[in-house]
Amino acid sequence: MIKPKFISMLSLPSKISSLVFLLFIWRNEPTNAKEDIQYDINADAWVVMESETGKVLLDKNMNKQNFPASITKIITAIIAIEERELSEIVMVSEHAQNTEGSSLSLKAGDQISLLDLLYGIMLHSGNDGAVAVAEHISTNETDFAQKMTSFVKSIGAKNSHFTNASGLPNNEHYTTVYDMAIITRYAMKNAFFKEMVQHKTYNWDEQLWRDTLMTHEKSEAKEYGIAWEGKPKIINHNRLLGLYEGATGIKNGFTHESRYTLVGSANRNGSELIAVVLKSANVDTAYKDIITLLDEGFRIKKASSNQVKRINEEVSTNNVVEESVLDNSNSKETESNSTIPIENQIIYASILGIITFLILTFWVKIRSKK
């Protein structure tokens, strides 16, 4: 009978072939994806990251520092959620009231729950609300900004620095698309944060429903195609929720210095991706950029999944063949003088391995030309 040692040698080339197959498949993964889409993206810097693993699928200038604008509020919100109770009451200061830019029309002396403020800063992007949160947690906004910088560095965002809670421009207030992806990936692990950024609207406190806020939100509802019922309700400024199937957030931003910034996320077939763009020319290009990046990211994910499936099938087929050879060897006995010398066994195994390697190489070359 064929000795087990020979069977082991027979199985060796098939295992090698599986490894060779794996290496060639991964080597021929669509590595040109970044080059293929870079001319379709307007933003100065962008990245696509797997939410589950943190793996970067696509990027350009991912460590280049840019102004973040209101996507800064992602950090403000996640710090508040982790450090305080949502039921806490926040007193609005004069400094918060006078903060320039996007506003919730808050007045000094207003009392509002932290829960409402978080929705106000993440959906409506209220700068006054962000400052009120910062002062509630750290007494003053400067100290809170230092906390923000320390926090993001502690979770791996090493190239960011913040000077305020809202995202207003400052030469020392900057981030990168990679850092924002890391920060967002961290924040989206928090169940409340993840739920909050998916809301298209949020019912607002009637006592704080001022004419300026109502006028603004009525206009936003019309622009985004949301039915206006005349009730106190703030509208999520993130258009991606209505533009992209499976969108799960997250935050948009704009200042003249930063241009348009956007952090988007989406889930497809149980897989979630995070995309970030900084310094896109206008609001339309920002959303077009994010949609293009998410589409390409999911395409890469699907291609990789199909490759893994083929590899598993190849390994499974090899295992079946090995078991079949082993079964046949046990059922057929031969005379002892018919045993194949060990030197011949090694030569045979080596030749089989080389042939398998050459066939797979030829197959992959043909596939890459299609």
Report pLDDT for 28: 46
**Per-residue pLDDT band at 357 (split at 50, 70, 90):** confident
| Rounded Cα–Cα distance for residues 234 and 56 (Å) | 34
Model pLDDT, residue 170: 98
- Of the residues 11, 14, 73, 103, only one is catalytic, namely 73
Residue extents of the structural domains in the chain? 4-29+306-369, 35-200+236-298
Whole-structure pTM value: 0.78
Q: What is the pLDDT of residues 215-254, one digit of tens each?
A: 999 999 988 888 898 899 999 999 999 999 999 999 999 9
pLDDT at 255: 97
Helices (H), the chain: 4-27, 33-37, 73-83, 94-97, 114-122, 127-138, 141-154, 177-187, 191-196, 211-224, 240-243, 283-331, 342-369
- Please tell me the predicted confidence (pLDDT) of residue 313: 56
Q: Look up residue 286 and give its DSSP letter.
A: H
Tens-digit pLDDT profile for residues 40-97: 899 999 999 999 999 999 999 999 999 999 999 999 999 999 999 999 999 999 999 9
Model confidence at 343, pLDDT cuts 50, 70, 90, reads: low
Please tell me which residue, 370 or 108, carries the higher pLDDT value: 108
Q: 230: Cβ–Cβ under 8 A, 6 or more apart, which residues? A: none
Residue 309 annotated to the active site: no
Evaluate if residue 9 carries a pLDDT over 50. Answer: no
Q: What are phi and psi of 228, to 5 degrees?
A: -100, 120
From the list 22, 242, 4, 208, the residue with the least C-alpha distance to 106 is: 208
pLDDT at 38: 75
pLDDT at 303 over 50: yes
Buried b / exposed e along 296-320 (16+ C-beta atoms within 10 A) = bbbebbeeeeebeeebeebbeebee
Band (pLDDT 50/70/90 cuts) for residue 323 is: low
pLDDT top residue among 368 and 101:
101
Catalytic site includes residue 70: yes
Q: Is 125 a catalytic residue?
A: yes
Residue that has been written with the tokens 């090698």 in this structure: 16
Taking only the tens place, the pLDDT of each residue in 132-159 is 999 999 989 999 999 999 999 999 999 9
The one catalytic residue in 125, 160, 166, 258 is: 125
- Interatomic CA distance for residues 226 and 69, integer angstroms: 25
Q: In this structure, what token pair is assigned to residue 26?
A: 């991964």
**pLDDT of 336:** 43
- Of 17, 18, 70, 280, the active-site residue reads 70
CATH superfamily of 35-200+236-298: DD-peptidase/beta-lactamase superfamily (3.40.710.10)
